[in-house]
Amino acid sequence: MKLLLHEVRLPLRHVFTIAHGQTVVQDSLIVELRDGPYRGFGEATASNYYGVSMASMRQALQAARAQIESVSWEEPAELWEALFPALADNRFALCALDQAAHDLWGKRLGAPVWRLWGLDVSRDRIPVSNYTIGIDSVEQMIAKMAEVPGWPVYKIKLGTDHDLEIVRKLRQHASAVFRVDANTAWTVEQTIANARELAQLDVELIEQPLPADALDPMQRVFDESALPVAADESCLVEEDVERCHGRFHIVNIKLVKCGGLTPARRMIDRARELGLQVMVGCMTESTVGISAIAQLLPLLDYVDMDGAMLLARDVAEGVRLDAGYAVFPNENGCGVRWLEP
């Protein structure tokens, strides 16, 4: 087994603005696990918001290199458990490793990961992905929607002084389902009031209206909101699912935050036990990370996996989106084919 690390810069098609800040180029680490003729790929993006840099991910994986290259495993979860003590403080790096292990696992066994899990990715069994519209002038947000006409679901990033006006104007240009994501920018009162207005505009749900640690105030939002509310920044790791119960209707699981596909599947199972709906979201990854997310689709109620579509240049081929639906390649593992630089 050999560990290879590829640092890539992913230029975006547009400046991507949310309540936390702006992104023009997304730095991302691609982990490759090479076992004889088989190559597995995984990904984790750097994130200033979560304090994760390319250097910190590389350092964590380099420190664990000897163990990664020597540990014996048949299924990816065995590698995850073996490396968790070394990488618990850098879940992003652990995620990239776990994704690569799943891709390699499927390629070794000659089957897609979803099939090895006993799942069915027929169109009637999987949710459609939204297409994300970052904060911008209303005119530019309308133009961004027009770039993917007829898309079934748009996620609209909010957190401005004129959020309702934005949604009202966008609604004039699309009959699609809308989801809105405040990225922690609202108060309890704003959320409850905005939910009433947004419900009249055929908005489906509100994602992360309050700050991540405002769990007790979220109980009032949960009780009084006219729309379902989804946790994102409030749901990072497995233990957070329990804390979201009774405060959110939906948990949005991000693979990089929780540490990969292995813990994400456990989080999905726990959410179901608690009666929570489940979304999996992306972090503007390339097709490497998006293809890993796609393996989970039959287990989800909602998905946000448009990251690769927001890029001006990709570094891999694999699962892609067609009018919101995932199109799976005739490839094993997660379906990733690395495009050599």
CATH number of residue 268's parent domain:
3.20.20.120
| Domain count for the chain | 2
Q: Are residues 109 and 122 in the same domain?
A: no
CATH number of residue 59's parent domain:
3.30.390.10
Question: Domain range holding 55?
Answer: 2-113
pLDDT at 229 over 80: yes
At 20, which amino acid appears? H
**Listed residues 97, 113, 129: the one ending a domain:** 113
Provide the 3-class DSSP secondary structure of residue 13: strand
DSSP for 91-115? HHHHHHHHHHHHHHHHHHHTSBHHH
Q: Are residues 61 and 160 in the same domain?
A: no
Residues 132 and 240: their CA atoms lie apart, in Å, by 25
Q: If residue 144 lies in a helix (H) or strand (E), which one and from where to where?
A: helix 138-146
| Angle (nearest 5°) at CA 65 between 64 and 67 | 70
Please, which pLDDT band fits residue 22 given cuts at 50, 70 and 90?
confident
**Listed residues 113, 134, 166: the one ending a domain:** 113
Give pLDDT, residue 17.
84
In total, the chain counts a number of residues equal to 341
Q: Are residues 19 and 38 in the same domain?
A: yes
Alpha helices in the chain (DSSP H): 54-63, 65-70, 76-87, 91-109, 113-116, 138-146, 163-171, 188-200, 215-224, 238-244, 255-258, 261-274, 287-294
Give pLDDT, residue 20.
72
Per-residue CA distances from 92 to 43, 45, 77, 80, 238 (Å): 8, 7, 16, 13, 14
N-terminal to C-terminal alpha carbon distance within the chain: 22
Token readout for 143 is: 């133009």
Give pLDDT, residue 19.
73
**Listed residues 88, 113, 138: the one ending a domain:** 113
Give pLDDT, residue 295.
98
Token readout for 128 is: 């459609």
Is beta strand 316-317 parallel, antiparallel or unpaired with respect to 302-304? unpaired
Give pLDDT, residue 284.
94
pLDDT tens, 102-153?
Answer: 999 999 999 999 999 999 999 999 999 999 999 999 999 999 999 999 999 9
Task: Determine whether 188 is exposed, middle or buried from the number of CB atoms within 10 Å of its CB (0-12, 13-18, 19+).
Answer: middle
pLDDT tens, 38-88?
Answer: 999 999 999 999 999 999 999 999 999 999 999 999 999 999 999 999 999
Percent of the chain with pLDDT over 70: 100
Task: Please give the radius of gyration of the chain, using alpha carbons only, rounded to the nearest integer.
Answer: 19
Q: Are residues 48 and 168 in the same domain?
A: no
pLDDT tens, 24-36?
Answer: 999 999 999 999 9
Q: Are residues 136 and 220 in the same domain?
A: yes
Element counts in the chain: helices (H) and strands (E) = 13, 15
**213 φ, ψ to 5°?**
-95, 5
Give pLDDT, residue 21.
78
Please, which pLDDT band fits residue 282 given cuts at 50, 70 and 90?
very high
Residues 126 and 32: their CA atoms lie apart, in Å, by 28
Residues 160 and 170: their CA atoms lie apart, in Å, by 15
Per-residue CA distances from 140 to 12, 46, 136, 160, 175 (Å): 15, 27, 6, 15, 18
| Angle (nearest 5°) at CA 120 between 75 and 254 | 60
Place of tokens 């990969």: 260
